[in-house]
Chain A
Amino acid sequence: MKNQMKYLLLVPGIILLAVFLVMPLLSIFLPTIFTEAGVTLDSYIQFFQDPLNVRIFIRTLRVALITTIICVFLAVPAAYYMSRCKQSVKGILMTISIFPLLTNSVIRSFAWITILGRNGIINQILTSIGIVEEPIQMLYTEFAIVIGSVYLFLPLMLTTLAGVMDNIENDMMEAAESLGANRLVAFLKVILPLSLPGIIVGSTLVFTGTLSAYTTPQLLGGNSNTVMATFIYEKSMSLGDWEGTSVIAVIMIITTVIAMKVLNTIANRLDKRGGDNA
């Protein structure tokens, strides 16, 4: 009785996941490999033979990679500074980082339309100082997608890192300095390695998040800067090409899983190394 009871509690969740997650995913995946000619990867080979598709795929990876690097670059010093602040200041900074996370991504992308647009704030400033004569095209470019994505995911990196940096003792820095390292060296050689696991967790979230983000590339990228997430929508809802869409969907899942695995492996290696030293 007791044995059945504990499994019974899990059954509703398992059934709902099977019906609404596994079954739909399988039913888009299976037709892409089981064709009249038997089991084949032809549809995937075809996908990567079209230079347009490859361009979109590479663009998606490039945007995700650049976004992740910028987020790390911006967030590491800020999160470190945050972790050394007084409790009250830290609370305020934490609140400012959480607020965007809870704000709709449509609003957060919309902000950048106003800033980067043809008559947007940056172009107004540039033309009024006379740096450029004509407004420059920033909106509907890959650059706009990267800025929008950094804006979207920076808070996630900040809150992830803030938690990790909190656990680094203040003494570490002092010890390094008293042994003659200057602050920058101490930061690079002591704080950075200690926060590396956090940086990798944050990078995983940002990289996979950017890979699958739809709103920002849709609103800021325009028609000529398709990424995988907007490609899926275009191929299915505008073109009605179900099979083509399924291929993109499967490639997206596989890319996400590979990215996670790679970053996870790196994190585990680092953990082990840290363990050996300790």
Chain B
Amino acid sequence: MRKNRFLGVWTVLVFAFLLLPLVIVTITAFGEANVVQFPIQGFTFKWFGKALSSNSFMSACFYSLRLALVATLLALLVGIPGAYALARYSIKGKQLIKSFFLSPTIVPGTVLGFALFQVIVVQLQIPYDIGLLFGHFLIVLPYVIRIVGSSLEQFDFSIEEAAWTLGCGKIKTFFTIVLPNITSGISSAFLLAFINSFNNVPVSMFLIGPGTTTLPATLMGYLESGYDPTVPAFSVLMMLATIGIMFVVEKTLGIAALSK
């Protein structure tokens, strides 16, 4: 019994270590002073107002949302057919192709960012935001391949064959039979891809330009140059959004969908 208590205390400490820093960030967002300090003096909501009316934060936020959405949709558009082909057909070099699709995960973010910057922006003179978009596409594609792929592996393809025999066309079968059966996989792939693109820093650092800067890069910039509690205030808003997403996921897919 005593050992069990030791484990319990250990676990409480580990989880306190995980939560306390974020609690501290949250508290510092409410201080009245112009500097981020803990414990805080006074209590105010003014930094939230400032965060929401800050042009640089808000435009970066909308840019990041757009970027994450487009990169994720592109990855789904390319990844779902790819994952389908890999799960459905016997293909020569199947493992190799799958590893190729998953290979962006082994390339460190700063390396990918630098390589894209060097080739797309410097050598080919293609605008920054195109490089940024495809950089994010590469980061999120493995999520789609992995998660949609594992949904498809559990799908019973004899149902699809039944539809074919009954005269349903291949494309129509895919959209009316296969796709509805893997929606939960697609949803969790979408969410994880979106969140990871939205949060990415290393790839973005090389590919942001004037007017096309992402939210994490903007936050980094503030942290490196001097900042007031608008930074924790905006952090709190982002964490609230995350909690909102987690709540919806828990009610629909189950929270385990986010730890794949």
Contacts and interface: CB of A to CB of B under 8 A. Distances in A.
A9 B135 CA distance: 22
B21 A249 contact: no
Interface size range of chain B in the complex = 35 or more
Interface in B17-34: 17-19, 21-22, 24-25, 28
Contacts of A107: 22, 25, 219, 235, 238-239
Interface string A1-17: 00001110110111011
A74 interface: yes
A9 B81 contact: yes
A81 B8 contact: yes
B151 interface: no
B15 A96 contact: yes
B90 to A, nearest CB: 9
What does DSSP make chain A's interface, helix, strand, loop or mixed?
Answer: helix
Contacts of B19: 96
B205 A233 contact: yes
Contacts, number: 246
B190 to A, nearest CB: 14
Interface string A58-96: 000000000000000011011011100000000101111
B189 interface: no
B24 A81 contact: no
A111 interface: yes
A27 B119 contact: yes
Contacts of A214: 109-110, 201-202, 205
A228 B111 CA distance: 10
Given A74-B14, A249-B111, A81 B201 contact: no
B206 A16 contact: no
B137 interface: yes
Contacts of A101: 258-259
Nearest to B90: A6
A87 B50 CA distance: 42
Given A13-B78, A104-B219, A183-B4, 10 more contacts: A9-B82, A12-B78, A14-B97, A17-B104, A82-B11, A100-B18, A102-B199, A115-B24, A158-B14, A212-B108
Interface of B: 3-4, 7-8, 10-11, 14-15, 17-19, 21-22, 24-25, 28, 36-38, 77-79, 81-82, 84-86, 88-89, 91, 97, 100-101, 103-104, 106-112, 114-120, 122-123, 134-135, 137-138, 141, 170, 195, 198-199, 201-202, 205-206, 215-216, 219-220, 223-224, 231-232, 235, 238-239, 242-243, 245-246, 250, 255-256, 258-259
29 contacts: A10-B81, A12-B77, A13-B79, A20-B116, A24-B116, A95-B246, A97-B18, A97-B259, A99-B242, A99-B246, A100-B18, A100-B22, A101-B258, A103-B199, A105-B201, A106-B201, A107-B22, A108-B22, A110-B25, A110-B223, A121-B24, A121-B38, A183-B4, A211-B108, A212-B202, A215-B220, A236-B118, A253-B106, A256-B107
